[in-house]
Amino acid sequence: MPAELPRTLLDALAHALPSGALLTTPADCLPYGYDNSKRDHPPQAVALPTAHPEVEALVQLCRRYRVPVTARGRGSNTTGASVPIDGGLVLSFERMNRILAINATDRYAVVEPGVLNGDLQTALAPHGFFWAPDPTSAPYSSIGGNLACNAGGLRTVKYGACRDNLLALRAVDGRGRGFRAGAAVTKNATGFDLARLLVGSEGTLALITEATLRLTPRAAARRGLRALYADVESAAAAVARLMAQAVLPAALEFMDGAALALVRARGAAVPDGAGAMLLFDAEGAADGIDAHVAALAEAARGPGLLEVAAARDQAELDSLWAARRALSPALRSVAPDKINEDVVVPVSRLPELVAAVAELGAAHRITTVCFGHAGNGNLHVNLMFDRSDPAQAVAAERCLDAVFDQVLALGGLLSGEHGIGIAKREHMARALDPVTLDLMRRIKAEFDPDGILNPGKLLPAADTAAPPSGR
Ligand SMILES: Cc1cc2nc3c(=O)[nH]c(=O)nc-3n(C[C@H](O)[C@H](O)[C@H](O)COP(=O)(O)OP(=O)(O)OC[C@H]3O[C@@H](n4cnc5c(N)ncnc54)[C@H](O)[C@@H]3O)c2cc1C
First and final C-alpha spacing in the chain: 33
pLDDT, mean over the chain: 93
Q: What is the pLDDT of residue 333?
A: 77
Q: What is the pLDDT of residue 49?
A: 98
User: Whose Cα sits closest to atom 5 in ligand 1?
Assistant: 136
pLDDT band at 179 (very low <50, low <70, confident <90, very high): very high
Closest CA to 243 of 341, 153, 328, 351: 351
Contact status, residue 256 vs residue 356, Cβ threshold 8 Å: no
pLDDT band at 2 (very low <50, low <70, confident <90, very high): low
pLDDT in tens, 190-248: 999 999 999 999 999 999 999 999 999 999 999 999 999 999 999 999 999 999 999 99
Query: What is the value of pTM for the model shown?
Result: 0.95
Mean per-residue pLDDT for 438-458? Answer: 98
pLDDT above 50 for 468: no
pLDDT in tens, 103-113: 999 999 999 99
pLDDT above 70 for 1: no
Q: What is the pLDDT of residue 265?
A: 84
**Is the CB of 92 within 6 Å of ligand 1?**
no
- The one-letter amino acid code at 50 reads T
Q: Which of 58, 79, 82 to mutate to test the pocket of ligand 1 (most atoms within 8 A of CB)?
A: 82
Q: What is the pLDDT of residue 288?
A: 92
For residues 357 and 349, give the distance between their C-alpha atoms in angstroms, rounded to a whole number. Answer: 13
429 CA to centre of ligand 1 in angstroms: 23
150 CA to centre of ligand 1 in angstroms: 9
Mean per-residue pLDDT for 129-139? Answer: 96
pLDDT band at 466 (very low <50, low <70, confident <90, very high): low
**Is the CB of 368 within 6 Å of ligand 1?**
no
Phi, psi of 131 (to 5 degrees): -100, 125
**Is the CB of 84 within 6 Å of ligand 1?**
no
Q: Which of 34, 92, 120, 141 to mutate to test the pocket of ligand 1 (most atoms within 8 A of CB)?
A: 141
pLDDT above 50 for 469: no
**Is the CB of 372 within 6 Å of ligand 1?**
no
Closest CA to 430 of 465, 389, 463: 465
- DSSP H helices, 66-188, are 117-124, 143-149, 156-159
Weakest-pLDDT range from 81-85, 242-246, 383-387: 383-387
pLDDT above 90 for 324: no
Closest CA to 136 of 335, 327, 317, 330: 327
